[in-house]
Amino acid sequence: MGEWGQRIRRLVLAAMIIALVVTSMSLTASPRVRVIRVSSWIASAVSPISFSLAWIGNKVGRGVSTLANLYAVEQENRILRAKLVRYNAMRLELSEVLADNGQLRSLLGLKQALGGWKLAPASVIARSPSTWFDTVVVDRGTSSGVRPGQAVIAPQGVVGRVVGASASTATVMLILDPRSGAGAIDARSQAAGVVSGANPVSGLLTFKLFSHRPNIDSGDAVVTSGYSQYYPKGLLIGQVTRVAKSQYGLTETATVRPSVDFNNLARVMIVLSHPGQAAVPPVFGGGRS
Amino acid sequence: MPASYRPLYWAIVFIFGLLVQTALLPQVFPAGYVPSVMVSLVVLLALYESPRRGLALGMLAGAMTDLLGGRLIGLNTATYGLLGYYVAKYQERFKHDQIFVPGLIGALSQLVVAIAQWMILNAVGYSLPWQVVATPLPYWILFGLLFTPAMGGILGIRPRVPSKSRRH
């Protein structure tokens, strides 16, 4: 009887643990501000050590990659010399284009739009401890005006959005995350859809298009549509690399290579506020949509 | 006489592991390839504990990882808990040494945990392709093989009592 009682007690305990784990997982399957706030607090508490380790890691990583690249450098040097000749010719052409660009920018009044943007620069101090989720911790928090929902950008384009913040740190869900989801349009054809993370290893994004027969091609630039509450309109997301029909052939899905190099993401800018209907400064990929 | 119960020591080791995993390793490994330091630490500690303590330390490591990640809380708690339990349960079948056994179990655990978590994630609605596991797996296994015994040496983790006197 005693042995049976103990067995039943163990079974009940195991069932309770399983139920607790399943409930917890189902409740936190999607990012929740309150839960992420707890993780932000923890990240905030350990941020001085994280920052130091990230700095050391950065130096170590650079040292390792320098050694690894030593053999490739000579070959690369030869290729670069050949390219240099071509680039010198292109430089003359480019100076002409730059002059035209400057005129166009002033014509469009984009300089004025740039003035209305309030950005907070931040450094990445840690990444998610789990391989499956693409989040990073940055060294700016609510004391700098950072709030959940704000977009995070880099000079190359969209990085992600803030999902949780403590006083001195914030958790940013990268656009690579499977649950990111950003409203996007093809800059050329204006075909609309949703971009989300598809594969953390390849670092590619999936662009699910709303239209049955969208006009979309490889090489097209994909920018934020402005339909989502998080991202301002016109931020560069990436470039289409492949277009394919979905499983049942009803919709088309494009594969997008993000414009931001997430492996070398060290500094980002958090969009604290931006003028409602203003176009995005061209340096962030705007001016095309 | 059983070895002393040291949850505070485990917690300190796991905090160190989490910091290495979130701040140091992402600077060296590309995104998606960062191996799990916590898996290696759970294996190292569970190798010299009873199954009940293995379960407890695994769950502690998992809960700390889940809390810092803030997503899908329970995924790591469950998988690391089971890992700690089974490593502690079957550790007496192996002849203990400081390099090969921790290395092999560390490598095997990286494989098992990655596949188990991938299966759970797909079951709860994250449609992650198999490539996400298959591509970085060789790097994770190699990391487990080398890092686990190295960490054991650095932290000085070794049997504290003769195995016969260990409580189950």
Residue of chain B with shortest Cα separation from A27: B72
Question: A289 or A55: which carries more pLDDT confidence?
Answer: A55
What ipTM describes this predicted complex?
0.74
CB B61, CB A29: distance < 8 Å: no
Chains A and B form CB pairs within 8 A to the count of 151
Question: How many other CB atoms are found less than 10 A from the CB of residue B80?
Answer: 32
The answer to whether B22 contacts A21, with C-beta atoms less than 8 Å apart, is: no
Q: What are the beta bridge partners of residue A158?
A: A153
Q: Which residues on A lie below 8 Å from B26 (Cβ)? A: 54, 57, 126-127
Q: Which residues on B lie below 8 Å from A203 (Cβ)? A: 31-32
Rg (CA), chain A: 23
Look at residue A7 in the predicted model and tell me its pLDDT.
85
Distance (Å) from the alpha carbon of A112 to chain B's nearest alpha carbon:
37
Residue of chain B with shortest Cα separation from A59: B27
The answer to whether B78 contacts A57, with C-beta atoms less than 8 Å apart, is: no
Look at residue B44 in the predicted model and tell me its pLDDT.
92
Question: A110 or A128: which carries more pLDDT confidence?
Answer: A128
Split at pLDDT 50, 70, 90, the class of A100 is low
Q: Which of A35, A57, A126 sits opposite B70 (nearest CB)?
A: A35
Question: A264 or B46: which carries more pLDDT confidence?
Answer: B46
Distance (Å) from the alpha carbon of B70 to chain A's nearest alpha carbon:
5
Question: Choosing among A130, A175, A177, which should be mutated to test the B contact, i.e. which has the most B CBs within 10 A?
Answer: A130
The answer to whether B136 contacts A131, with C-beta atoms less than 8 Å apart, is: yes
Split at pLDDT 50, 70, 90, the class of A258 is very high
CA dist., res. A267 & res. A260, Å (int):
11
Look at residue B119 in the predicted model and tell me its pLDDT.
92
The answer to whether A53 contacts B23, with C-beta atoms less than 8 Å apart, is: yes
pLDDT > 70? residue B95: no
CB A141, CB A167: distance < 8 Å: yes
Residue A92 one-letter amino acid: L
Look at residue A249 in the predicted model and tell me its pLDDT.
67
Look at residue A157 in the predicted model and tell me its pLDDT.
85
Q: What are the beta bridge partners of residue A174?
A: A160
CB B56, CB B130: distance < 8 Å: no
pTM for this entry = 0.71
Look at residue A104 in the predicted model and tell me its pLDDT.
53
pLDDT > 60? residue A126: yes
Split at pLDDT 50, 70, 90, the class of A285 is very low
Question: A151 or A214: which carries more pLDDT confidence?
Answer: A151
What's the pLDDT tens digit per position in A131-182?
888 899 999 999 999 999 899 988 788 999 999 898 889 999 999 888 888 8
- The residue assigned the tokens 């059983």 is B2
What's the pLDDT tens digit per position in B30-82?
888 899 999 999 999 998 888 999 999 999 999 999 988 888 889 999 999 99
Averaged pLDDT of chain A: 80
Residue A207 DSSP one-character state: E
Question: Choosing among B14, B22, B60, which should be mutated to test the A contact, i.e. which has the most A CBs within 10 A?
Answer: B22
pLDDT > 60? residue A116: yes
The answer to whether B23 contacts A51, with C-beta atoms less than 8 Å apart, is: yes
pLDDT > 90? residue A13: no
pLDDT > 70? residue A228: yes
Considering only CA atoms, which of B33, B133, B60, B148 is closest in space to residue B101? B148
Question: B151 or A61: which carries more pLDDT confidence?
Answer: B151
Question: Choosing among A58, A132, A169, A171, which should be mutated to test the B contact, i.e. which has the most B CBs within 10 A?
Answer: A132
Look at residue A261 in the predicted model and tell me its pLDDT.
86
pLDDT > 60? residue A198: yes
What's the pLDDT tens digit per position in B131-160?
888 889 999 999 999 999 998 888 887 765
Look at residue A143 in the predicted model and tell me its pLDDT.
92
